[in-house]
Amino acid sequence: MAAKEVGRRERRKQETRNRLLDTALALFATQGFEATTIDRIAEQADVARQTVLNYFPRKEEFVRAWVDRRRERLTILLQEEAFRDISAHERLAALVGLMAGYDEQESRVARAISEGWIRHDSGFFADAVAPPALVEAVQLGKQRGDFASTIDADLAAEVIYDCYLQTLNRWLHSNAQFSLDRTLRGKLDIVLNGLQRPT
């Protein structure tokens, strides 16, 4: 009974956390990152201000949670059986395509967050590291012989992720004047052609 109660309590906590995050993201999209206050998030979610602060002590924590949520989706996708049977190139292209798809679907949120962080001189995820799913995909490519065994998987993933962030930043601030997905896949092709072993 105690274990069930703990499980129920943890589920409720996660549901509350997700609701607060969804509320904050919706407000960022409609009124901007800077203009959205903790009080406004609490009001919109119909909870006390302290409840918001218990889960997200600073507004920036919503951004980190948003990034973590997307990264978890990438990791889950990488574990799917269908992903184990395709080439490393196809696997990375699918991951990059998924990342681009998230940004295209949530472009207003991404733009609001980017603009808010730039105004605070903190850059757009300046301290971000490459998603573990990208590192794992490169490592798997090495194990299967798609990539040279001497390739540093962490560094290769960082190159791909840096390319993604810079392209995303340009896309967000050009009002989507070019296809994010197509541009990222084209750049990935260039990177991977440099990684592939000669045939």
Average pLDDT, the chain: 87
Query: Which pLDDT band holds residue 66 (cuts at 50, 70, 90)?
Result: very high
Q: For residue 120, is pLDDT > 80?
A: no
- What is the reported pTM? 0.81
> Which of 50-54, 69-73, 127-131 has the highest mean predicted lDDT (pLDDT)?
50-54
Span(s) in the chain for CATH 1.10.357: 66-199
List where CATH 1.10.10.60 sits in the chain.
1-57
| Distance, CA of 127 to CA of 66 (rounded, Å) | 15
What's the pLDDT at 82?
A: 76
Q: Which amino acid is at 26?
A: A
User: What's the mean pLDDT in 156-179?
Assistant: 89
CATH 1.10.10.60 fits 1-57, yes or no: yes
What are the Cα distances from residue 157, in Å, to 82, 115, 116?
A: 21, 25, 27
Whether residue 123 has pLDDT greater than 70: no
CA 123, CA 169: separation in Å to the nearest integer? 10
* 50-84 as b/e: b if 16+ CB within 10 A: eebeebbeebeebbebbeeeebeebeeebeeeebe
Residue 162, pLDDT > 70, answer yes
Q: Report the CATH number of the 66-199 domain.
A: 1.10.357
pLDDT at residue 164, rounded to an integer: 93
Residue 196, phi then psi, degrees to nearest 5: -65, 145
Examine the pLDDT at 27 and tell me if it is beyond 60: yes
Q: 152 pLDDT band (50/70/90 cuts)?
A: very high
